Amino acid sequence: MTNIRDIAKMAGVSVTTVSRVLNDHPYVKDDKREAVLNAIEKCNYQKNINAVHLRTGKTLLIGIVLPFSDHPYFTLLIKGIAQEALKQNYKLVLFQTNYQESKEIEALDMLKHKLIDAVIICSRICDWSIINEYTQYGSIILCEDTRGKKVSSTFIDHYKSFLFALDYLYKKGHSKIGYCIGRRSGTNSQQRELAYKDFLKKINVPFNSEYIFDDCLNFEDGEQVINQIKTMNTPPSALLVTSDQVAAGIVTCCQNQNISIPDELALIGFDNQPISEYMNITTIDIPLVEIGRKLFIQAFQEYITNEEIPARLIERKTV
Amino acid sequence: MTNIRDIAKMAGVSVTTVSRVLNDHPYVKDDKREAVLNAIEKCNYQKNINAVHLRTGKTLLIGIVLPFSDHPYFTLLIKGIAQEALKQNYKLVLFQTNYQESKEIEALDMLKHKLIDAVIICSRICDWSIINEYTQYGSIILCEDTRGKKVSSTFIDHYKSFLFALDYLYKKGHSKIGYCIGRRSGTNSQQRELAYKDFLKKINVPFNSEYIFDDCLNFEDGEQVINQIKTMNTPPSALLVTSDQVAAGIVTCCQNQNISIPDELALIGFDNQPISEYMNITTIDIPLVEIGRKLFIQAFQEYITNEEIPARLIERKTV
What one-character-per-residue DSSP string does B76-132 give? Answer: HHHHHHHHHHHHTT-EEEEEE-TT-HHHHHHHHHHHHTTSSSEEEESS--S-HHHHH
Across all residues in chain A, what is the average pLDDT? 89
What is the Cα B135 distance to its own chain's centre?
Answer: 18
Contact B240, B252 (CB under 8 A): no
What is the pLDDT at residue A222? Answer: 94
| Closest Cβ–Cβ partner in B51, B139, B249 for A278 | B249
Residue A318 scores a pLDDT above 80: yes
Contact A1 B112 (CB under 8 A): no
Model confidence at B51, pLDDT cuts 50, 70, 90, reads: very low
User: What is the distance between the alpha carbons of residues B9 and A85, in angstroms, rounded to a whole number?
Assistant: 31
Lowest mean pLDDT of A157-166, B92-101, B175-184, name the range: B92-101
Pairing of strands B91-96, A91-96: antiparallel
CATH number for region B56-156+290-310: 3.40.50.2300
Contact B91 A91 (CB under 8 A): no
Mean pLDDT, to the nearest integer, of A178-187?
92
What is the pLDDT at residue A43? Answer: 64
What is the pLDDT at residue B1? Answer: 46
Residue A169 scores a pLDDT above 50: yes
CATH number for region B4-47: 1.10.260.40
Is it true that the peptide bond before A262 is cis, omega within 30 degrees of 0? yes
User: What is the distance between the alpha carbons of residues B49 and B62, in angstroms, rounded to a whole number?
Assistant: 17
The DSSP bridge partners found for residue A268 are A240
* Residue A18, amino acid: V
List the single best residue of A278, A288, A291 to mutate versus B (max B Cβ within 10 A).
Answer: A278
What is the pLDDT at residue A72? Answer: 83
* CATH pick for A58-156+290-311 out of 3.40.50.2300, 3.40.640.10, 3.30.2010.10, 3.40.50.300: 3.40.50.2300
Lowest mean pLDDT of A132-136, A143-147, A238-242, B67-71, name the range: B67-71
Model confidence at B239, pLDDT cuts 50, 70, 90, reads: very high
The DSSP bridge partners found for residue A39 are none
What is the pLDDT at residue B21? Answer: 77
Contact B294, B242 (CB under 8 A): no
Mean pLDDT, to the nearest integer, of A218-234?
94
Contact B57 A82 (CB under 8 A): no
B63 burial type by CB count under 10 A (0-12 exposed, 13-18 middle, 19+ buried): buried
Q: Tell me A309's DSSP state.
A: P
Torsion on CA atoms B249, B252, B257, B262, rounded to nearest 10: 90
Q: At what angle do helices A244-256 and A221-230 cross, to 10 degrees?
A: 60
List the single best residue of A17, A104, A105, A275 to mutate versus B (max B Cβ within 10 A).
Answer: A275
Percent of chain B residues past pLDDT 90, beyond the cut: 66
- Show the CA angle centred on residue A211, arms to residues A205 and A215, nearest 5°: 150
Is it true that the peptide bond before B236 is cis, omega within 30 degrees of 0? no
Model confidence at A237, pLDDT cuts 50, 70, 90, reads: very high
What is the pLDDT at residue B86? Answer: 85
| Closest Cβ–Cβ partner in B44, B103, B219 for A278 | B219
What is the pLDDT at residue A71? Answer: 81
Domain ranges (residues) in chain B? 4-47, 56-156+290-310, 158-285
Q: At what angle do helices A4-11 and B49-56 cross, to 10 degrees?
A: 40
Percent of chain A residues past pLDDT 70, beyond the cut: 93
Question: How many residues in total does chain B contain?
Answer: 319
Count of other CB atoms within 10 angstroms of residue A4: 21
Mean pLDDT, to the nearest integer, of B211-232?
94
Higher local confidence (pLDDT), A21 or A214: A214
| Phi, psi angle pair for A260, to nearest 5° | -85, 125
Asked whether the domain spanning A58-156+290-311 has the same topology as the one spanning A4-47, the reply is no
| Closest Cβ–Cβ partner in B50, B61, B69 for A78 | B69
Question: How many residues in total does chain A contain?
Answer: 319
- Show the CA angle centred on residue B187, arms to residues B184 and B188, nearest 5°: 80
Q: What is the SS3 assignment for A154?
A: strand
List the single best residue of A18, A91, A140 to mutate versus B (max B Cβ within 10 A).
Answer: A91
Model confidence at B53, pLDDT cuts 50, 70, 90, reads: low
Measure A82 CA to nearest chain B CA, in Å: 7
Closest alpha carbon to B91 in A60, A47, A115: A115
User: What is the distance between the alpha carbons of residues B289 and B129, in angstroms, rounded to a whole number?
Assistant: 28
Q: Kindly list the distances between the CA atom of residue B33 and the CA atoms of A54, B13, B19, in Å, as whole numbers in the listed order.
A: 18, 9, 11
Chain A residue with CA closest to B289: the answer is A70
Contact B1 A114 (CB under 8 A): yes
Mean pLDDT, to the nearest integer, of B264-290?
93
Contact B57 A3 (CB under 8 A): yes
Contact B3 A57 (CB under 8 A): yes
Contact A93 B61 (CB under 8 A): yes
Strand arrangement of the beta sheet that strand A177-180 belongs to: A212-213, A177-180, A238-241, A266-271, A283-285, A312-314
| Closest Cβ–Cβ partner in B4, B75, B218 for A70 | B75
Residue A145 zone, left/alpha/beta (φ > 0; ψ -120 to 50; rest): beta
Higher local confidence (pLDDT), A60 or A152: A152
| Closest Cβ–Cβ partner in B1, B44, B61 for A57 | B1
Asked whether the ipTM of the predicted complex exceeds the cut of 0.85, the reply is no
Mean pLDDT, to the nearest integer, of A121-126?
93
Mean pLDDT, to the nearest integer, of B219-231?
94
Contact A75 B54 (CB under 8 A): no
Pairing of strands A177-180, A312-314: unpaired
Write the class of the CATH domain A158-285: alpha beta
